[in-house]
Chains A and B, each alone.
Chain A
Amino acid sequence: MKFFHLVWAGLMRKKLRTVLTFFSIMVAFMLFAFLGSLKAALTGGVQMAGLDRLMLRHKISFIMTLPQAYKARILNVPGVKAVCHQTWFGGVYQDKPENNIGTFPVIPEDFFEMFPEFILKPEEKQAWLNTRTGAIVGRKTANRLGWKLGDRIPLKSSIWGVPAGMSQWEFEIVGIFDGAKKTTDTNNFYFRYDYFEEARQREKGMVGWYSIKISDPARSAEIAAKIDEEFANSPYETKTEAEAAFVQGFANQIGDIGAITMAVVGAVFFTILIVAGNTMGQSVRERTEELGVLKALGFTNSRVLILVLLESCLLAVIAGFSGLGIAWVIVNTVEPPQMLPLVYLPQSTLEAGAIFAVALGVVAGIIPAWQAMRLQIAEALRRGG
């Protein structure tokens, strides 16, 4: 610690240069954190996915529907514990595009058994079972739109039109659910399938996809194959896969998020490495005489190496941590766009960022530090004089 002021003085010797380098590193780490958040947002569903859950969809496309009657046949497949179907409803509130809500008709009993990560009070659960037009909504959406229990919510559906004799679908908010984990999506809106089935005017008896709970996750591939076999050569052939694989495939429609993130982060860090390395190199070259004086006073070669390395690491760590900190504040305070409901800064990103900051300091500083260590005192003093 007694050398700290010496390290700090080295950084403050050229304030403008240090500040500019600080900001370039800080912005790089902010970008790193934002990309980490984006990756988490786009692949967050993979982490939410249950290990004991399969997803069954139409073999040709996710948007094609399947018979609701499949439920009983799926339940008969050995190893299947529970089945819950969902259907894409496409609910829009107040005709505003930004109010496009993930809306799904479900059978409440099946839904609760399938998704224990959605936490609802017992009385709200009961209210949903008792109310045919009842709906439950996630905390995030309820907060965003100011909905509370008892509110009557009109929605329009871009897919299913309106119920006969009505201008829009009407629901009563009977429950607001929270997530069991930070990563649980609390943006969606669920309503009762029996109301949906009765009110829709086409494709009755058809549903979007099935979530399937199995008894043994280790047998997921085997059970999935058995289910698909059950519906082979039918008009509605199926494709069943682990929920995580299904969600990952969905995210991959945008592209390989991991590869994109790594490419951008790699390019940014390489640039920053050169900037920081150049700053340290220039700083050491300018201080040849001062480093010679330190050695003349009795500072050993290794101590000079450590001082220069500490300087580089201190700059990289302060700037890097600042960037990560600012990104964390922004991600946690700014409302994410609707299309990215699960924006958060994963702890793994913060930990990786912290390691990168230290590594950047070491890599950027090692060559200048080595040069400083090898400096001949008499030569250094002569250059200064």
Chain B
Amino acid sequence: MSDSRPTLVLIDRVNRTFTRGSQSVEVLSGLHLEVKEGEFLALMGPSGSGKSTLLNLIGGLDRPSSGTLQIGSDRVDQLSDSQLAHWRARHIGFVFQFYNLLPALNAERNVELPLLLTHLSKAQRRDHVAAALNAVGLSHRTKAFPRTMSGGEQQRVGIARAIVTDPTVLLCDEPTGDLDRKSGDEILTLLQSLNKDHGKTIIMVTHDPHASHRATRTVHLDKGQLSDNPVD
């Protein structure tokens, strides 16, 4: 049965080659991928398969060597550095494996960071931060600093920071990779809820088959090529 939802992410014949010394290494080769709006896609593959490179391309942290990368109506591959930065602020929410919170800022200040790039007033920013922290179940930890929080709590703050601007796509790079099973499950449940209840489009890189089962679709990447079947 075909999916009638519109395509949000279109990756067409994308190549990404890195130069190391005198050698060229092709990490992604003629890649084609479409992600529908509201989809929860799990991207699996062995180390070095190009998962993070692909995620960086979708998130506008890197540019393809060739090919088309379109998200919504934006040709991301054609944006300048400055345009990309503004585009990321508007459309992308990142969730990192190691949370990447700023240690000198408390939870609410960390969540507020993307809002500093908007024209919202202080009061509006405060309301948005409160709503995001409430959505991840951390209303009681707004003043806590990262060093005083568990891994699961820090990742929840990371997710609150990613969703506070209501981005078009949520990109998660091994979001449970640094967590125990219980905390990992809680994070996956939260991501599932954001996808199902709030219609968020999520692309998640993971090694963990258990995590990929929570996604609505899983694709496998190996040696720069995608397939729907797991790599042996």
Interface residue count on the B side (C-beta < 8 Å): 30
The answer to whether A13 touches B113, judged by C-beta atoms less than 8 angstroms apart, is: no
Q: Does B90 contact A (CB under 8 A)?
A: yes
The answer to whether A300 touches B82, judged by C-beta atoms less than 8 angstroms apart, is: yes
B interface, over-half SS: helix
The answer to whether B61 touches A299, judged by C-beta atoms less than 8 angstroms apart, is: no
Residue interface bits A371-383, CB-to-B below 8 A is 1, else 0: 0000001100100
> Which residue of the partner chain B has the closest CB to A293?
B100
The answer to whether B114 touches A297, judged by C-beta atoms less than 8 angstroms apart, is: yes
Of A5, A9, A290, A299, which one neighbours B117 at CB under 8 angstroms? A299
Q: Which residues of A286-313 are within 8 A (CB) of B?
A: 289-290, 293-302
If A298-B89, A300-B86 touch, whether A293 touches B102 (CB-CB below 8 Å) is yes
Q: Does B109 contact A (CB under 8 A)?
A: yes
A344 to chain B, nearest CB (A): 42
The answer to whether B102 touches A300, judged by C-beta atoms less than 8 angstroms apart, is: no
The answer to whether A377 touches B61, judged by C-beta atoms less than 8 angstroms apart, is: yes
Of B86, B94, B116, which one neighbours A296 at CB under 8 angstroms? B94
**Residues of A close to B122: CB separation below 8 A:** 2
Of A3, A13, A289, which one neighbours B100 at CB under 8 angstroms? A289
Of A12, A296, A301, which one neighbours B61 at CB under 8 angstroms? A296
Q: A298 vs B161: C-alpha distance in the bound complex, in angstroms?
A: 12
Residue interface bits B110-138, CB-to-A below 8 A is 1, else 0: 00011011000010000000000000000
A366 to chain B, nearest CB (A): 20
The answer to whether A297 touches B89, judged by C-beta atoms less than 8 angstroms apart, is: yes
Q: Does A6 contact B (CB under 8 A)?
A: yes
The answer to whether A295 touches B85, judged by C-beta atoms less than 8 angstroms apart, is: yes
B68 to chain A, nearest CB (A): 20
Q: Does A50 contact B (CB under 8 A)?
A: no
**Residues of B close to A298: CB separation below 8 A:** 85-90, 92, 114, 117
Q: Does A78 contact B (CB under 8 A)?
A: no
Q: Does A384 contact B (CB under 8 A)?
A: yes
The answer to whether A381 touches B96, judged by C-beta atoms less than 8 angstroms apart, is: yes
The answer to whether A297 touches B94, judged by C-beta atoms less than 8 angstroms apart, is: yes
Of B59, B61, B104, B114, which one neighbours A9 at CB under 8 angstroms? B104
A108 to chain B, nearest CB (A): 69
Total CB contacts across the A-B interface at under 8 A: 72
**Residues of B close to A289: CB separation below 8 A:** 100
The answer to whether A384 touches B98, judged by C-beta atoms less than 8 angstroms apart, is: yes
**Residues of A close to B117: CB separation below 8 A:** 297-299
A364 to chain B, nearest CB (A): 20
The answer to whether B82 touches A301, judged by C-beta atoms less than 8 angstroms apart, is: yes
Q: Does B56 contact A (CB under 8 A)?
A: yes
**Residues of A close to B56: CB separation below 8 A:** 377-378
**Residues of A close to B82: CB separation below 8 A:** 300-302
Q: Does A90 contact B (CB under 8 A)?
A: no
**Residues of A close to B96: CB separation below 8 A:** 293, 381, 385
> Which residue of the partner chain B has the closest CB to A297?
B114
Q: Which residues of B62-121 are within 8 A (CB) of A?
A: 62, 81-82, 85-90, 92, 94, 96-98, 100, 102-105, 109, 113-114, 116-117
The answer to whether A378 touches B104, judged by C-beta atoms less than 8 angstroms apart, is: no
A293 to chain B, nearest CB (A): 5
**Residues of A close to B105: CB separation below 8 A:** 5-6, 9
The answer to whether A381 touches B89, judged by C-beta atoms less than 8 angstroms apart, is: no
The 8 closest A-B pairs by CB, nearest first: A298-B89, A9-B104, A300-B85, A377-B61, A298-B88, A13-B104, A293-B100, A297-B114
Interface of B toward A, CB cutoff 8 Å: 52, 56, 59, 61-62, 81-82, 85-90, 92, 94, 96-98, 100, 102-105, 109, 113-114, 116-117, 122, 161
Contacts A6-B116, A293-B96 known; list 19 others, CB within 8 Å: A3-B116, A5-B105, A9-B105, A12-B104, A13-B103, A290-B102, A293-B102, A294-B113, A296-B88, A297-B88, A297-B94, A297-B113, A298-B85, A298-B86, A298-B88, A298-B92, A299-B89, A381-B61, A385-B97
* Sample (21) of A-B pairs whose CB atoms are under 8 Å apart: A5-B105, A5-B109, A6-B116, A9-B102, A10-B104, A289-B100, A290-B103, A293-B100, A293-B102, A294-B113, A296-B88, A297-B89, A297-B94, A299-B85, A299-B89, A377-B56, A378-B62, A381-B96, A384-B98, A384-B100, A385-B97
